[in-house]
Amino acid sequence: MSSVELQLPALGYGAANVGNLFRELSDDEAWAVLEAAWESGVRYYDTAPHYGLGLSEKRLGAFLQTKPRDEFVVSTKAGRLLRPNPDFDDGLDTAHDFFVPDDLQRVWDFSDTGIRTSLEESRERMGLDRIDLVFLHDPERNDLDLALAEAFPALEAVRAEGGVQSIGIGSMASDALARSVREADLDIIMIAGRYTLLEQPAAVDVLPACHERGTGVVAASVFNSGLLAKAEPTRDSRYEYGGVPDEIWARLQRIVAVCRAHDVPLPAAAIQFPLREAATRSVVLGSSRPEQVRQNAELASLAIPDEFWAELVADGLIPA
């Protein structure tokens, strides 16, 4: 691990939306979102080449170039290179939910050269002198064995050379996260949607591995596809890539009832829940609207009574 632990602010901004996730933003609209995050005190920003085929990195980098470099932390991802799409026909990257031209394609590359090239190209897109933290992005979607044999050792070498301060994995697959923590020398991992107020599968295997190895956690997708983003969820909300299963909806209704009883906004509880876990360093939230960014920052600092958490524990809705 890195000899000096990277200090992450408790609240971060996940920059997929400024890569035109789900809807197109103009450059000015994207800038306004990032400005709202900065003005709200956010000093940790996470991006990836995957987000908008490089657009997120470009927009985030352009914004951060206007800020003092020692006042923020930035992370990106590696594992997929962006290369020209030979089949480009004026289409959009909507197969990946990004509203950008698909003139580039993602190419998996876990080799030492591929990892180093990915980081260098990310630095160039962002126009920043350094990246603080890099996550291997969803390696299980390609080949986790290959990642453990090649990609993680490459990242460890880059860290040893001072190319980045900290390394990790970003994934929504608990088994891949737990195995990577145990078999690679990682500083911080990003758990996407697997340790939330609504469900905590990462508590079974990932978090124990993190405690054993001294690995930090960044919690992402804490609103469970938006289910927890409103005080009163609706049955037609999206869950993962489809509708809300009956057992998930029933569990959510029990949580909402406890929120009502203690006058705690559901989104505030969703943001603050992962930070109760000792391994969690930061919660990263994404948004495409400035007003939502500001509201999230307010909810992150809202006082929540101990009795609220105690009732959720007593009801078996969150771990003790």
Whole-angstrom distance, CA of residue 24 vs CA of residue 11: 25
pLDDT per position as a tens digit, 229-277: 999 998 888 787 678 899 999 999 999 999 999 999 999 999 999 999 9
| Residue 241 covered by a domain | no
* Residue-wise pLDDT tens digits, 175-205: 999 999 999 999 999 999 999 999 999 999 9
Beta-strand ranges (E) seen in the chain are 11-14, 44-46, 73-78, 80-84, 104-108, 133-137, 166-171, 188-192, 216-220, 280-285
Q: Which of 44, 51, 195, 241 is catalytic?
A: 51
Number of neighbouring beta carbons within 10 Å of residue 111: 13
Q: What per-residue confidence (pLDDT) applies to 204?
A: 97
Domain that holds residue 151: 11-227+268-305
The model scores a pTM over 0.85: yes
Q: Are 123 and 60 in contact (CB under 8 A)?
A: no
Distance CA 46, CA 133 (A): 9
- 194 domain residue, yes or no: yes
Q: Tokens for 296, please give them.
A: 């999230």
User: What tens digit of pLDDT does each residue of 12-21 get?
Assistant: 999 999 999 9
238, part of any domain: no
- Cα separation, 157 vs 163, whole angstroms: 9
Q: Give dist(CA 170, CA 112) in Å, integer.
A: 18
| Residue 247 located in a structural domain | no
Mapping DSSP to helix (H, G, I), strand (E, B) and coil, where does residue 96 land? helix
Sequence length of the chain is 320
C-alpha to C-alpha distance for 274 and 271, rounded to whole angstroms: 7
What b/e sequence results for 206-242 when a residue is b if at least 16 CB atoms lie within 10 Å of its CB, and e otherwise?
bbebbeebebbbbbbbbbbbebbbeeebeeebebeee
φ, ψ at 113 (rounded to 5°): -65, -40
State the pLDDT at residue 3. 66
Residue 2 within a domain: no
- CATH number of the domain encompassing residue 97: 3.20.20.100
Q: What pLDDT is attached to residue 237?
A: 80
| Residue 237 in domain | no
**Distance separating alpha carbons of residues 219 and 177, to the nearest angstrom:** 12
> Which amino acid appears at position 251 of this protein?
R
Please give the mean pLDDT across all residues of the chain: 96
- Please report the pLDDT score of residue 236 as a whole number: 83
What distance lies between CA 211 and its chain's CA centroid? 20
Residue 77 covered by a domain: yes
The rounded distance, in Å, linking the Cα atoms of 279 and 178 is 14
Catalytic residue status for 241: no
Beta strands at 73-78 and 133-137: parallel, antiparallel or unpaired: parallel
Q: How many domains is the chain built from?
A: 1
> Can you tell me the mean pLDDT for 286-294?
97
Q: In the prediction, which pLDDT does 13 show? A: 98
Question: Mean pLDDT throughout 129-144?
Answer: 98
